[in-house]
């Protein structure tokens, strides 16, 4: 019996698209839970950052790393 060799189809390359919302703002809400908001451009990101209420405090880099490790 002769073994048949499968003919592999050439792989299609995926087009690499830039992210649609490249800016992410992570803050801690008044209830203590981290929350993330995504923005399409830097102007919207900076506008939201300036408008953060005092109840939403910053999230430290160590806390972000802990969130990512989970």
Q: What is the pLDDT of residues 12-67, one digit of tens each?
A: 777 777 778 889 888 888 788 888 899 999 999 999 888 888 767 778 888 888 87
CA separation for the pair 22, 42 (Å, rounded): 9
Q: How many CB atoms lie within 10 A of CB 45?
A: 18
| pLDDT higher than threshold 60 for residue 1 | no
Q: Answer yes or no: are the C-beta atoms of 47 and 23 closer than 8 Å.
A: no
> What's the pLDDT at 39?
94
> What's the pLDDT at 38?
92
């Amino acid at each position: 019996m002769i073994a048949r060799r499968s003919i592999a189809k050439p792989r299609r390359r995926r087009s690499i698209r830039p992210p649609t919302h490249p800016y992410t703002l992570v803050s801690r809400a008044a209830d203590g839970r981290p929350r993330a908001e995504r923005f399409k451009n830097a102007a919207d990101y900076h506008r939201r950052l300036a408008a953060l209420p005092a109840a939403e405090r910053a999230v430290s880099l160590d806390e972000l790393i802990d969130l990512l490790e989970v």
